[in-house]
Structure 1
Amino acid sequence: MAAENIDDVIDGLAAIVRDADRAGDRAGYFAALYRQVTVEVRNAIRGGRFDDGARMDRFDTLFGNRYFDAYDAWRRDQGGPRCWRETFGLLRAGDTIIVQHLVLGVNAHINLDLAIAAARTSPGEAIHALRRDFMLINDILARVVLAVQDAVGDVSPFLRLLDQVGGRTDERILDFNIRQSRQEAWYNAVLLAGQDDAEREETIERLDVRATVLARLIARPGGLVRPAVELIRRSESDDVQAVITHLDHAMEQRSAR
């Protein structure tokens, strides 16, 4: 699928969520999170929160198409970025917990795709004018992630208990800081925006390798984290369809709490 605007991105993500729901496919976990983030970005565009709403529509469309291309390539067994192959390849792993699937998708999309989409939206010196709008998405993303984390807690009781005792234990367990990753993505976007084709290809390869290494660490944490993940897995729902539906309504549920 190829989106032409942010509405197409939302429709495409909703289609993936529906298909995953019908099939009991864990691909719907990240797609549900991503759909809600994109809806909030569209609301911010329509609400005039960005300096350049039309530019953010183009940016979000390029960003979304990175995900769609990787998803379609994986479905057709036609390659795609290594970090996405690593992420999608774990969808059928029975020992991977819900929050791991979410963070695996976030890792690939932020640590690889985000910088590429930003540099393509605003190449050369134009990249600097994008910074404020780029960073504004941090606030939107944080709000949706908190809602989704609450929704995960509803279907993963031991994870909720760890959150209550330790405060957002899921993020610490997986050692993944979204805001820091987005800051690094911005630096890489500025780098890519000023590079020629050969340099850009080399940088993208490096970003893919790094995101792939992180994906493996997220999927197979070591030390004391491993038994904690196992306890979480045993407590959480294995009804994939129910989990997808719950995650896909996280923002509505948070508003009703």
Structure 2
Amino acid sequence: MAQIEHFAVQRDRTRPAELLTPPSSVRSVVERMRNVRYEWPPTDGVAVFNRVYLTVTEELGRQIDGGRFPRPRAAATLGVLFAERYLGAVDAAAAGRRTPACWRPLFQYRRHPGVRPLQFALAGINAHIGHDLALAVVDTAAALGCEPAALEGEFDRVGDTLAALEERIREDLMPGPDLLEIADPLTHLVGTWSLERARDAAWSAARVLWGLRELPDLSQEFAQRMDAGVGLVGRCLLTPLR
């Protein structure tokens, strides 16, 4: 698995992902999300995304605990490595280090008064699903010693849980009908991004990255271009509207 080491996340060295029990592993990332939320004001753009993502990750943990996943270990590993991509970006920003290009717009615009909460949430989802999810699939396949194809069931089930993220955003952050008129620029922005299409693209990207694992230069270039492209979409989503 050395060929894909450049995709690896930093994990707890005393408890590698493949040894974690599903409930405790998901609980650990949930606890980290709960802790970081107190570091930011509620209007902070990263805090907006964190609130929504925390709710979804808590639900994922409940589903794993409740036996909704036939292979809880695989689901938990994917969920944890996926979440750690986001938390790694949070840690990098807090330490003044360069974040991945996909996350950079959200951290740069997080306090902009002209960006609405819905935009912050969509930009975070765009970064996380458009870039992090594909890498998390590759990380999980490497950790569990299997092909990505063996994780398709877990990918789909985790994706179904993530679909609740978009629904939650629309319920909590979408302005009322009297505020969101057809001519409102936010209406256009909301319609330009699709979680379903992003999920499909992430699965395709994961398969490409896995296929390129013995060609590290090409796989790294592909990952970098994917990162840059997702970052460009995120910057568009965060266009100030007032």
Into which bin does the TM-score normalised by the smaller protein fall? 0.7 to 0.9
The superposition leaves residues 172-216 of structure 1 with CA deviations (integer Å, 9 ceiling, x where unpaired) of 533110111011000111111222232321121011111111012
Partners of 2:75 and 2:47 lie apart in 1 by: 25
User: Which of 95, 100, 104 is residue 85 of structure 1 equivalent to?
Assistant: 104
User: Which of 14, 22, 28 is residue 8 of structure 1 equivalent to?
Assistant: 28
Following TM superposition, by how much is the alpha carbon of 1:14 offset from its aligned partner in structure 2, in angstroms? 0.8
What is the identity, as a one-letter code, of the residue corresponding to 1:191?
V
Q: Name structure 2 gaps, 5 residues minimum.
A: 1-9, 16-24
2:197 paired with 1:180:
yes
What is the identity, as a one-letter code, of the residue corresponding to 2:148?
I
Partners of 1:204 and 1:171 lie apart in 2 by: 31
TM-score, reference length from structure 2 = 0.80
What is the identity, as a one-letter code, of the residue corresponding to 1:45?
I
Following TM superposition, by how much is the alpha carbon of 1:148 offset from its aligned partner in structure 2, in angstroms? 3.0
Q: Which residue number corresponds to residue 191 of structure 1?
A: 208
* Residues 115 and 185 in structure 1, CA contact (< 8 A), matched pair in contact too: yes
Q: Which residue number corresponds to residue 37 of structure 2?
A: 17
Mean CA deviation greater in 178-187 or 61-70 = 61-70
Q: Which residue number corresponds to residue 55 of structure 2?
A: 36
Partners of 1:24 and 1:2 lie apart in 2 by: 30
* Residues 120 and 193 in structure 1, CA contact (< 8 A), matched pair in contact too: no
What is the identity, as a one-letter code, of the residue corresponding to 1:122?
A
Partners of 1:72 and 1:188 lie apart in 2 by: 25
Q: Which residue number corresponds to residue 147 of structure 1?
A: 168
Q: Residues 52 and 152 of structure 1: is their aligned pair in 2 closer, same or farther, counting only changes over 3 Å?
A: same
Following TM superposition, by how much is the alpha carbon of 1:85 offset from its aligned partner in structure 2, in angstroms? 1.5
Q: Tell me how large the CA RMSD over aligned residues is.
A: 2.5
Q: Residues 165 and 217 of structure 1: is their aligned pair in 2 closer, same or farther, counting only changes over 3 Å?
A: closer
User: Which of 69, 73, 80 is residue 54 of structure 1 equivalent to?
Assistant: 73
Partners of 2:179 and 2:77 lie apart in 1 by: 37
Q: Name structure 1 gaps, 5 residues minimum.
A: 154-158, 221-225, 231-257
* Residues 29 and 80 in structure 2, CA contact (< 8 A), matched pair in contact too: yes
SS in 1 for 2:44: coil
Percent of pairs with identical residues: 25
- Within-5 A mapping of 1:159-238: 159-161=175-177, 172-174=188-190, 175-196=192-213, 197-220=216-239, 229-230=241-242
TM-score, reference length from structure 1 = 0.75
Following TM superposition, by how much is the alpha carbon of 1:35 offset from its aligned partner in structure 2, in angstroms? 0.6
SS in 2 for 1:82: coil
Partners of 2:179 and 2:160 lie apart in 1 by: 21
Partners of 2:225 and 2:178 lie apart in 1 by: 35
User: Which of 123, 127, 137 is residue 158 of structure 2 equivalent to?
Assistant: 137
Instruction: Show structure 1 runs of 4+ deviating over 6 A.
Output: 163-166
Q: Residues 143 and 171 of structure 1: is their aligned pair in 2 closer, same or farther, counting only changes over 3 Å?
A: farther
What is the identity, as a one-letter code, of the residue corresponding to 1:203?
F
Partners of 1:53 and 1:162 lie apart in 2 by: 44
Q: Residues 8 and 171 of structure 1: is their aligned pair in 2 closer, same or farther, counting only changes over 3 Å?
A: farther
What is the identity, as a one-letter code, of the residue corresponding to 1:195?
L
